[in-house]
Structures are given as C-alpha cells and as structure tokens.
Structure 1
Amino acid sequence: MTRQPYPPASRLDLVEELHGVPVPDPYRWLEDPDDPATKDWLDAQERLFTTEMGALPGREGFRSRIAELLKSGSVSAPVWRGERQFFMRRTPEQEHAVLYVVDPDGTERTLLDPMALDPTGLTTLDTWQPDKEGRLLAYQISVGGDEESSLYLMDVAFGDRIEGPIDRCRYSPVAWLPGGEAFYYVRRLPATEVPEGEEQYHRRVYLHRVGTSTEDDVLIFGDGMEKTNYYGVSVSRDGRWLQISASRGTAPRNDLWVADLSASSPEEPGLVVVQEGVDAQSSLHFGRDGRLYLFTDRDAPRSRICVTDPATPQAEHWRDLIPQDSEAVLTDFAILDDLDRPIMLAGWTRHAISEISVHDLVTGERIGEVPTPGLGTIGGISERPEGGHEAWFGYTDNTTPPTIQRYDARTGETTLWAVSPGAVEVPAVDTEQVTYRSADGSEVHMLVISKPGVEGPRPTILYGYGGFGISMTPGYSASILTWVEAGGTYAIAQLRGGGEQGEEWHRAGMLANKQNVFDDLHAAAEHLISSGVTTPDRLAISGGSNGGLLVGAALTQRPELYAAVVCSAPLLDMVRYELFGLGATWNVEYGSAEKPDEFAWLHAYSPYHRVREGVSYPATLFTVFQSDTRVHPLHAWKTCAALQHAQAAERPILLRNETEVGHGARAVSKTVELSADQLTFLAHHTGLTS
C-alpha cells in the first residue's frame, strides 16, 4: 500500500529550561484547538486517516460482529428505596441504558431514557439517586461527552421534572435526608469566583432544600481547603449520621468527618474528625444494630473491616471484625440481619478473581461462602436499606454478559435474578492465568484469552492500565471476543499501579515508581514472545487514558518490541499535563513538574519528550475525543505530530479525532465504530486474517 504523506506540521524552536533542564516543545501550537492552524492540521489528519483506513481489509466483518455481540445488552443490580425498586437495563437495539422503576404493585415502567431526552444520542445519564422513600429522584445528565453534569429532580410517581438544572455538579454525590425535603450535594464555585484556569476545581458541599432556589443553599463544607479536593457525602439510612470525606484529587487517602444530626442541625452539623492527615482511605457504614462499621486500608493495604461505637469513631477505638487477608483484597461488604444469626457478606478479589465470604456479624468468624457462577468479576454487593435476608450482586466473565445474582441467606443459595436482555451466540474461548517476572523480579499476573485449539505464534493484543489502584478483572467484552474469534490472542496484564494486590501494589507503580508499570508491560510482552504465544511482528499493545500513557511510554521506550499500538485518550506530555483538563487532580498519582525531583521522574518517561528522529516506531493509531474534559486531546495531537516527523519505518502514524464524544459514556453505535477501527488497524499490522 502506498504510504500517504503526512500533513505538514511546523516545528517551533521552543525550548524551556525547567529546573536546569532544557525541554523542547516544538508542537505547543497544537495545544490550542481554536487556532486555525490546528483546525487545518486536524482536517488533514482526518483525510489521511480516512484514506489509510479505507484501504484496509476486514473492517466490515469486525464492525458487524462487535455490533452483534453488543446486542447482549446490559442490566444492573436493583436499588431498593421504600417499596420501589430502581435499576438500569439496555436492550439489544438501544443506544443507551434506560433507568426503570418497579412500583409497589409490581408494575415496571421507564423512568429516564437518554434517547427520549435527546434523540441524537449525545445526552448521557451520568448518575442517579432516589430519596430514602423512593418518591423523588435526583439525576445528572451531560451532553456531547463533556461530563459537565447538570442536576435535576423528578417526582417518581408521575415522572415529572420538578427542579433543575443545577449546573457545576460534575462528580457530585447526592445524600438525601429522610422525607425527601432536602439533600447534601457537591458543586463547584462559579467560574467568576475562581482564578482563570481553575474552573474545574474549588468544590464545596451544600445543603439544598427542595423547592427553594440554589441561591439559598447552605454552604456546609470546603471553604479554605485544597482547590483540587473531591468530596464525598452520605447520610445514614435513619438520617441521624452525616459523613463527609475529602480527598486531594485522586489521592489514595482521605480525611473523614462525621456529625450526629440528632444533636445538631442539618444546616450546621457538628462535624467530628474520624481521621485527618492520615495516609489511608476509610469509609463509614452505620449499622441497623447501632454499631459503626469501617472499611479501611489503614494499617492494612489489602483492607479490613473494623467496628466501633458511633460516639467514638476514631482509630484508637476500632476493633478488627474482618482482618486483612494475606492474599485476597477486600472490596466491599453487605449486612444481612433478618436472621437468627445476622451475617456480613465480604467481597474479595484473589488475583483479580472475585469471591464472597460469609461471616458472623458479631464476631467476624468466617462461617461460609456465597456460591458464585464462575471465575469472574462481582460488581458490588447490595441489600435492602431496611435489612433482610437477601443480597444482590452483578456477575460477568470473559464469555458471560452481565447478570444479576440473588443470594438468599436463609437457604444459602445463589440464583439468577436478571440477565442481559439480548440473546447472542458467544464464541468459546480459553482463559489462562499466567505469572511472569518483571525487570526487578516482581511476580505479575496476566490473563491470556485465546480460541480453543489455536496453536503457535499468533497475532496478539496486550492490554494494560496500571494506575489509580484500578484492577483489571475478567469481563464481557465484544471487542475482545471478536478478536479472539478471528484467531487472535488477547492478554490483560495486571500491572503494578493497579489494585489487584492491594494498595501496596498500587503504590509500587505511582509517583517515583511509575517506571515499574512500563517495565511490567515490557516483561509481559517478552513472556508472551518467549512462551511462543506471539512474536514481535505480531504483537500489538492497547491502552486508554492512563493506559494510553502506558502504551505511549512503551512505544517510545521499546519500539522494537511491538508491531502496532492503539493509544486512546492518552496522557503523553507529562511535563505540562497538570495545565489541562483534570490534570491537577492527578499530581498525587504522577507527581508535579513544579517540583525538581518529581519533574525528573516525569521528564524521564514523558512519551512526547522521548520521541527521537530516525527511529523505527510501531504502527500507531491515536484515538481521541474532542469533547474530552478529563484528558485533553492535545496530548495525542502533539505526540502524533512528533512521531510522524520522526518515523523511520514505513509503518503509519495515524490520528482518529472524534467530535461530540468525551472520555466516558457514549452511544453504543459510536463504540462499535471506534472498536471496529481499532481492531482493523491492529489486525492489518499484526497479520491477523480471520
């Protein structure tokens, strides 16, 4: 195939000296999406992408199979409030999941359908929270992928919108007081009240009374605190206890306060410190038995559950109920107390495979296990707020679309509660969990998914994330199944920086230890090659967001190891990342270029700054989203230009720049088109022919 010339991109003679180090930035002009030169360059990149992709075979086959597998739909666990049940479901032909309610008489009806709100498919339902009685619903929607949620209130019985929009509510929890007359929520200050460039920060906790103007909302918490703080807020089932947490950006630690609302007013809660200035994350659950349960990784990087009296919530009063496990990571819990012997269900992951144990609620003694459908992922355990003997949890694995399971503590049985509504024929796959050694000798786990009976080196996609304590667990993926069905192998490495082995595993891949994550990926690639799964000319890597940083670092550090790369919504200019999107909230994970020692870490691996002329780089496809308000697409734009200038091989460097979508939720049809392009590109450059 004749390679098309790359669009011209002027190189600025721009070099800044930071902490005594000269830092070139030849493509800084691409940071401005409104610059006519940037727009012209993006238009030219779109034409190049269309031409190059149009010449590749197999796209229609990938597109149709991904679309077919996505017709499985989806379903969520029930949320019980009063005598109503709320849940999400997406049927095979729907672009977005729809929120349903089941009324006390058993009638199921649609409550919120994003496509009814906006037939273009650009509106997404970001989050929702019924009041404690199930009579009112707070919900948040955003448009075009910008995630700038606006908050509304609905009367559940009639489906009428009764308040809203309340803007600046991105990532806001909603904590209802009993009776549905008021709730706590989190809202950013107006842009006119904050310094320029800080409009995404400066959150505060407010109390809003239904039926009143937001001008009358009472400021509860947040004044004078760190600008990048995120706040959590919740109210106990009986309305007595308020808890507020504060985390600096995405830091793996929080400060925590609690107030007794029976002894102080909702407008002026008497907040008492639970923990402050402690390098740990903790959360509170007020039991129906009057005890306070704490989920914490304080002195327990794999987490534990403690118990105390609500009047003495500080750590010196905590008593272990379920101590830290030596191998499994505690993920969540639920309490079932309508039993002769009340119990606690504890959710765990063991090398990223989920399990649930049963414990005596008083002593913590392990007395059994909850049967689960297989070796997969459990998506949270929930119970009725008023108590009971039932619990619900989501389940999925590599070949099972999401299902909802019901556990009955009286019988000890787990039964299927709800299934994804679409019937699809899922291909058979083999999944193997392997271990390998990284550069420093650390043992790393990896899932390797392949078609039964396929042997010998084969085109392989290696996927990873390695950040923010997020675990890579088994799950249903139309894209993975399509690739494997076509004869490829898909490997998912559980790299340091994730949460698969607890908080210590996370911290072994953050800040000064970030290079460990990249080393773990290189070692995964070398293991796949040495074990005969693939060869360098058949090996691709893929990652998005922090995973985009991962593969960006990989392709610039070890370009000879990989044939092709898909780099989606990535962070790549790690010297200037804090200046854009939500970057300043991530310096607790990566470090800050303002500090000399942290700048040294960042500059050492920053993919944009590691591009070198005359190097043979893998075929690379950048996929970015112009409404992305988390990770600005400028990272990919600048690095794409740098790689196109530097590339010594015939392998292409392409940019897929999508408008009116963002970092997170999107319509199913857009997911299909994106996945088809990615697989088509990787198949061509690794030699996969189905």
Structure 2
Amino acid sequence: MSHLPDTHQWLESLDDPVVDSWVAAQNKRTQAVLDADQRYAPLRQEILSHLRDTRQIPFFSEHAGWLYNFHQDEHHPRGIYRRTTLADYQAASQQWHTVLDVDAIAAAAGKDWYLDGVAHCTVQPSRVLVHLSEGGGDASLAWEYDLETASWVEQGFRFPHGKNHIAWRDPDSVLVCPGWKGAPLSRSGYPREVWLVERGVDGQHQWQQLFVADQEAMMVAAWRYLDGPDGWLDLIEAADGFYSKTYHLIDAALQTHPLPLPPKADIEAYLHGQFIVKLAEDWCWQDKTHAAGSLLAVPLTCLLGDEGRIQQLVAPAARLAVESVETTRSSVVVNLIDNVRSRLLAFDWQDGSWHARSLPVPDSGVIEFADQPWNSDVLCYSFSDFLTPTGLYRLNVATGEQDCLRQQPAAFDASRFMAEQCWATASDGVDIPYFVVRARDTVLDGQTPTLLYGYGGFEVPMMPYYVENFGAHWLEKGGAFVLACIRGGGEFGPGWHQAAQGIKRPVSFDDFCSVAEALIGSGLTSPDKLGIEGGSNGGLLVAACMVRRPELFKAVVCEVPLLDMLRYTELLAGASWIDEYGDPADPQQAAALQAYSPYHQLQAAARYPLPLFTTSTRDDRVHPGHARKMVAQMQALGHPAMLMETDAGGHTGNAGQEQTAAELARVLVYLYQQLMD
C-alpha cells in the first residue's frame, strides 16, 4: 500500500457533519448551474412523464399462473408489488392487484426503505422473502411474507440488514449466508459462512452451519437448483476473488464436497443431471483440454468420479461470447453475443447427447432473458436496438411459437436516424468496435455534439439498447450518441476482458481514446463538441481518459465512480475487485495503479474540461469518497469541477422516479451547456 499523503481523506467519513456541510455546499453550487437552467424543470417533467407512461412495459415474473410486477408512480413513489393474470396482461388490461405496498411498509416502520427484491419460493410461490434496503443501498434485510394474505408471516423467517445471500431451499428451509453486523465477514464485507435454517415452532428456527470460508476469501453464496418437479441439487460457491472460485456440493447428509472444476469457471445452469459451465481459462480433464470461452455440459457423475462425458455446447471464436444461459423444463437456452449482437441457441437432450438448434428470434440488436416460469417450456425475453423500442416476447422453446406481449412506446421518431457499427484501431493495432447513432443527414464537418459512452471492465458487454430518453432529448436536438465496446468488457469473451485486467487496465483507456480519435478523424465531431460518460468502473474510465487526454474532450460525466486506486481496497466493497484492478498492497501493482489513478494523476498545469461527478451518500458498494476527493483535489489545484451527491439510490439508482428524472435531466442540461450552447 502506498503511503502518499492524502489531504482529502477526511471526505471519506459518512457520519461527519463537517463533511455533510461540504457536500451540501457542492450540491448547491451544482444546482445553481444546472437546476437553475431554464431547460431543467421542463426536461425533468418530460422525463418523469415518460417514466410514468402506463404504456411502458410492466416486466414480470410468473409464478403459479400469476404475473408479478414491481411498479412505481406518483401515488407510489417507493413502489408496489402487484399481480395479474396472463389473460389480462395479454389484453393490456390495467387490472392489477396490489399484494405488497412498499410506501405503506416504510411509513409504518418509519424507515427509508426501498424494495431490493422479492424472492419467491419456487415450489410454493405465495411465500416470499421481501428484501428491503435503507436508501436503496446494496445491503438489505429479508422478511418472510405471504402474498395470499398480504401480510408478514407470523413467526416467519426474518434476517437482519446486511449484504446477505439468502435462498429458498424448500418451503420450510433457507440457505443463509449472513452479511449482517456481528457475522464473520470477508475483508470486502461479504459473507463467509453458509447456514441451513429450518423452520421451527413459535419462530424457534433451527440453524446448522454447513460451510465456513477462510478469512482471505471474498464471499460465499448458496442456492438450490431444481431439475424438473422432483430433482434438486444444493450448491455452495466459495469465491477466493472476483473470478476465482470453488463450488461445493451439499449432499443429503448436509456434508459438503468440492467439485473439481477449474477456478475460473462459472456454473450457469443445471439440467438433466448436468452442469452448464462457462470457462474463462483452459481446463484439462480426462486427457482433453477445453479452451477458455467454451460452454460445456458437464455431468455431475463425471465430477464425482463416475462415468460421464463432457460435451462442448459452444466453442470459442474471435467475435463470439456467451452472455447468459437459461433452462426451461426440457432445454438449455444460450444467449450469444455475435459481433456485439444477440442471438439465441437452444440445446435439447436427445439420445444421450445435446443437440443445438437456432430459435426464431430477432438477431439485429440485444436480447435479455426476462422470465422463465418454472417447470415449463416458456421463456420470456426482451429485444431492442438503438432505434427500435423494447418488445417483450413470450416464446415456447419447444415449439418455436411466440407472441409479442408488449411493445414499448416510441420515445422519438427514429426514421430520421441511423445506427452503424464502426471500428477504431487501438495503439497496439487491435480493432475496437463502436456504434454511432446519428441523423441520416449529418454533415461530417466536425460540428456534431457527440456523447461517447463506455465501461470496459468486469467482462460486462456494451450492447445496442434502445436510446429512449437520449433519442428524444439528445438526437433530436442535433446530437450523436456513440457506444464503445472496448477491451475489459465482455463483448468477445474472456480474452477480450483479460486484455485489460489488472495492471493492464490502461489498455481500456487507450481503446476509449482511440475511439474518440476515430470520431474526430471521421469528421463527425471535434474535441470542442465531444463529451464522454461512464458509471462505476465506467466512471474510472472517463476520469482516467480526462486526466490522460484532456485535450480530446469538452464534457465528462463521471457517475458513482472509482477514482482513488491506492485506497480503493480500504473502502466498502473495494477489496472484492482486486482480481479486476490489482492490489495496492503489492508494491509493483501499486506503482501501476498510481500511474493511472485519476485522483493521483491530476496536475495543476493541465487544462481539463469542466467535469460533472455524481454519487450517492447511500452507495455502499463504491464509496462516495472517491467522487468527493476527486472534486476537492481538482478545486484545490485550481480546476473547476461539479459534484452532485444524492441521499438515496445507492450504487444502482434504486430510488424513486422523481430522483431518476432529476438525475437524467441534470446530465442532459450539463451536456447542452458544454457541447451545444
């Protein structure tokens, strides 16, 4: 760990009135610039009205014939959990029945609670665990609730507030990984123990410890796979790091057994007695090497030393990645990223092997799995592209028949615009894909206000989602939107991610700047018209690019960012990301981290664009101190910088629609001021 002086470390405090006053003063300055702009209030209202449009798709999870949806509106700012039937949903009926009112629950308890999820017991789905978080953070409590009576279960399961992992095992037992205060936690603040909690009389539930990870572990999780109506398997994941883990089988006697999978492998699903495994490293098994990037079907019997044959379902390829996997009653469905567009494959178990077939779904944009009703062949998915509003589809995987259940209303007239995939050449000669969304009649004179968005980390792909509010409030005002698919992300499999992992992180910064240079070189835009935006790891990306190449950009939107790379492991969940960035406790890695750490690389003599940093006091994942200290250091060096810190929403923006609309309106007003005025 570097011992460089940190004159702004005091801003890391989360309970100091002096810090609170400093944040309030920064917010006031920012609001005086952005909220006072005459465009802000009507823009915020337009965005809010769009969010509350009843034609928006109410996504759902289906359980025992009921479709459950979480809904927010002006009457329910925290939200309600409601349900309807498939027939009513298909008829576009608004006949919803409220089964859980978060506003009422929070008011009765006098708490700033937001819904963090509702976990149904699959085989008895009227029983749920309701997860409630303070201010929208990652940590939550979990209480058992009966949807039929719309009430808390008397003497039911109740688990304290924390970064817990809790999963139903059956209607009368749960697998619990405690993350609450007083439980043994990892350095990252995540659970280290797995317990089986079985329902007892008068709330005297029986606790049995199943597993304890060592103190150097990152976290543990446990869950039950259901394989048809009668089959099941209980599993523990013990993670040593973000990408390194060991899976343990829990047997009928509640003993655990490690499975001989490689550390960099993810179990994506379990069906017909076989694990569906995605490899991030080569794996030699039974005298055969399976390459990184492969998706395999691995029989449980094979891992336990009995007979069984591993079958490759998807082979690695240069422009291909496995995005996600879902199972139906009979099939494995794989969502592939093929040259940064989605396509689906189904695999059916017939005559002792898996057989692949394509599914009749769109392949020109991005697909996400939305729901899979248990013990059925139905799969619901969403599809969109930059200019096509999201549609929700219900597909029978067995027959290929499908219906479009809902289509999102168009936020703008897309006929005037075009989206194209382009390629930039990085400094090491690698081709980097990016997408440009612009007006068809754009003049390539360097004068188009352009927003470049990126992420470049954690093997997360950037995909061509519908631009929605940016279409109405950016494209239609003459702007262009660009999405960069840089290394560090998951667009092209594990190798694409690993090329910018650890001390190689600056590769992603160079890729992003190469895209910026390509945009300028094409005549689309110029440095005075180019802005960049990113959140979380993407916040690190845009801040690092601003510090390294300030002459390329006029606007920087840096959201819930990671910026102090020498202290990040000491702040909240930061230690869990050592696999991604490197360890500042190691002198060699600390030198590499310091060399690009935005907080440490600021220079008084440089000329930076005016940046907008946003964060949340309730962010319990990436500490708000990162953004605070960056702003303080810039101001101390004589550079203007704006900060907006909200008091709700956490890292993921889990707050009300009013706050969501306000945050987006501020970003847009900032971009107008920097790039259009």
Residue number in structure 1 paired with 2:427 = 439
Query: How far did 1:636 drift?
Result: 1.2
Question: In 2, distance between residues paired with 1:214 and 1:678?
Answer: 51
* 1:680 correspondence with 2:665: no
Residue number in structure 1 paired with 2:578 = 587
Question: In 1, distance between residues paired with 2:600 and 2:533?
Answer: 20
* 1:541 correspondence with 2:532: yes
Q: Which of the residues 260, 268, 274 maps onto 1:292?
A: 274
Question: In 2, distance between residues paired with 1:490 and 1:424?
Answer: 15
Query: How far did 1:572 drift?
Result: 0.9
Residue number in structure 1 paired with 2:454 = 464
Could you tell me whether the CA contact under 8 Å between 1:72 and 1:424 is conserved in 2?
no
* 1:602 correspondence with 2:593: yes
**What per-residue deviation string (whole Å, max 9, x for no partner) do you get for residues 506-555 of structure 1?**
11111011000110111111011001111001111111111111111111
Match of 2:531, as an amino acid? A
Query: How far did 1:122 drift?
Result: 4.8
**What per-residue deviation string (whole Å, max 9, x for no partner) do you get for residues 399-455 of structure 1?**
4454321113454233212445x7855655422111111111111111212234333
Q: Which of the residues 236, 244, 259 maps onto 1:244?
A: 236
Q: Which moved more, 1:444-453 or 1:210-219?
A: 210-219
Could you tell me whether the CA contact under 8 Å between 2:342 and 2:364 is conserved in 1?
yes
Could you tell me whether the CA contact under 8 Å between 1:427 and 1:485 is conserved in 2?
no
Tell me the secondary structure at the aligned position of residue 4 of structure 2: strand
**What per-residue deviation string (whole Å, max 9, x for no partner) do you get for residues 121-158 of structure 1?**
95322122211222311121112123321001111221
Q: Which of the residues 121, 128, 141 maps onto 1:150?
A: 141
**What per-residue deviation string (whole Å, max 9, x for no partner) do you get for residues 580-626 of structure 1?**
11111111211111111110111110111101112111111111111
Tell me the secondary structure at the aligned position of residue 572 of structure 2: coil
Tell me the secondary structure at the aligned position of residue 582 of structure 1: helix
CA distance change for structure 1 residues 505 and 45 in 2, over 3 Å: closer, same or farther?
Answer: same
Residue number in structure 2 paired with 1:613 = 604
Residue number in structure 1 paired with 2:219 = 229
Query: How far did 1:235 drift?
Result: 3.5
Unaligned runs of 5+ in 2: 89-94, 283-290
**What per-residue deviation string (whole Å, max 9, x for no partner) do you get for residues 275-312 of structure 1?**
36x3312216442xx43132221534334131424464
Could you tell me whether the CA contact under 8 Å between 1:77 and 1:394 is conserved in 2?
no
Residue number in structure 1 paired with 2:264 = 280
Could you tell me whether the CA contact under 8 Å between 1:243 and 1:284 is conserved in 2?
no
Q: Which of the residues 151, 159, 162 maps onto 1:166?
A: 159
Could you tell me whether the CA contact under 8 Å between 2:71 and 2:82 is conserved in 1?
yes
Q: Which of the residues 185, 196, 199 maps onto 1:207?
A: 196
Match of 1:474, as an amino acid? P
CA distance change for structure 1 residues 43 and 225 in 2, over 3 Å: closer, same or farther?
Answer: closer
Tell me the secondary structure at the aligned position of residue 627 of structure 2: helix
Query: How far did 1:560 drift?
Result: 0.8
Could you tell me whether the CA contact under 8 Å between 1:56 and 1:681 is conserved in 2?
no
Residue number in structure 2 paired with 1:623 = 614
Tell me the secondary structure at the aligned position of residue 165 of structure 2: coil
Tell me the secondary structure at the aligned position of residue 178 of structure 2: strand
**What per-residue deviation string (whole Å, max 9, x for no partner) do you get for residues 339-367 of structure 1?**
xxx65432211133111123443343333
* 1:565 correspondence with 2:546: no
Tell me the secondary structure at the aligned position of residue 599 of structure 1: helix
Question: In 2, distance between residues paired with 1:145 and 1:53?
Answer: 24
* 1:47 correspondence with 2:18: no
Residue number in structure 2 paired with 1:577 = 568
Match of 2:380, as an amino acid? W
Tell me the secondary structure at the aligned position of residue 674 of structure 1: helix
Q: Which moved more, 1:566-575 or 1:30-39?
A: 30-39
Q: Which of the residues 318, 324, 329 maps onto 1:332?
A: 324
CA distance change for structure 1 residues 122 and 315 in 2, over 3 Å: closer, same or farther?
Answer: farther
CA distance change for structure 1 residues 393 and 92 in 2, over 3 Å: closer, same or farther?
Answer: farther
**What per-residue deviation string (whole Å, max 9, x for no partner) do you get for residues 444-494 of structure 1?**
111212234333331111111111111111223444222112211111111
Question: In 2, distance between residues paired with 1:574 and 1:684?
Answer: 31
Could you tell me whether the CA contact under 8 Å between 1:347 and 1:381 is conserved in 2?
no
Could you tell me whether the CA contact under 8 Å between 2:276 and 2:296 is conserved in 1?
yes
- Per the normalisation by structure 2, the TM-score is 0.87
Tell me the secondary structure at the aligned position of residue 150 of structure 1: strand
Question: In 2, distance between residues paired with 1:239 and 1:493?
Answer: 43
Equivalent positions of 1:69-148 (< 5 A) are: 69-72=50-53, 75=57, 78-89=60-71, 95=77, 98-102=80-84, 109-118=97-106, 122-131=112-121, 132-148=123-139
Residue number in structure 1 paired with 2:366 = 377
CA distance change for structure 1 residues 33 and 51 in 2, over 3 Å: closer, same or farther?
Answer: same
Tell me the secondary structure at the aligned position of residue 597 of structure 1: helix
Could you tell me whether the CA contact under 8 Å between 1:333 and 1:381 is conserved in 2?
no
Unaligned runs of 5+ in 1: 1-17
Could you tell me whether the CA contact under 8 Å between 1:121 and 1:667 is conserved in 2?
no
CA distance change for structure 1 residues 232 and 600 in 2, over 3 Å: closer, same or farther?
Answer: farther
Q: Which moved more, 1:158-167 or 1:303-312?
A: 303-312
Question: In 2, distance between residues paired with 1:549 and 1:637?
Answer: 14
Question: In 1, distance between residues paired with 2:22 and 2:302?
Answer: 62
Match of 1:291, as an amino acid? G
**What per-residue deviation string (whole Å, max 9, x for no partner) do you get for residues 206-263 of structure 1?**
21223565774222222435342242422324364211112235x12321122343xx
Tell me the secondary structure at the aligned position of residue 217 of structure 1: strand
Question: In 2, distance between residues paired with 1:77 and 1:427?
Answer: 24
Could you tell me whether the CA contact under 8 Å between 1:128 and 1:137 is conserved in 2?
yes
* 1:32 correspondence with 2:13: yes
Query: How far did 1:25 drift?
Result: 1.9
Residue number in structure 1 paired with 2:383 = 395
Q: Which of the residues 171, 176, 179 maps onto 2:169?
A: 176
Residue number in structure 2 paired with 1:8 = none
Question: In 2, distance between residues paired with 1:636 and 1:234?
Answer: 39
Query: How far did 1:504 drift?
Result: 1.2
Could you tell me whether the CA contact under 8 Å between 2:115 and 2:136 is conserved in 1?
no
Q: How many residues align?
A: 645
Could you tell me whether the CA contact under 8 Å between 2:184 and 2:193 is conserved in 1?
no
CA distance change for structure 1 residues 549 and 336 in 2, over 3 Å: closer, same or farther?
Answer: closer
CA distance change for structure 1 residues 40 and 382 in 2, over 3 Å: closer, same or farther?
Answer: closer
CA distance change for structure 1 residues 112 and 494 in 2, over 3 Å: closer, same or farther?
Answer: farther
CA distance change for structure 1 residues 37 and 333 in 2, over 3 Å: closer, same or farther?
Answer: closer
Q: Which moved more, 1:541-550 or 1:95-104?
A: 95-104
Residue number in structure 2 paired with 1:4 = none
Match of 2:190, as an amino acid? Y
Q: Which of the residues 668, 671, 680 maps onto 2:660?
A: 671
Residue number in structure 2 paired with 1:642 = 633
CA distance change for structure 1 residues 364 and 685 in 2, over 3 Å: closer, same or farther?
Answer: same
Match of 1:637, as an amino acid? R
CA distance change for structure 1 residues 397 and 139 in 2, over 3 Å: closer, same or farther?
Answer: farther
CA distance change for structure 1 residues 449 and 207 in 2, over 3 Å: closer, same or farther?
Answer: same
Question: In 2, distance between residues paired with 1:136 and 1:293?
Answer: 28
CA distance change for structure 1 residues 84 and 679 in 2, over 3 Å: closer, same or farther?
Answer: closer
- Per the normalisation by structure 1, the TM-score is 0.86
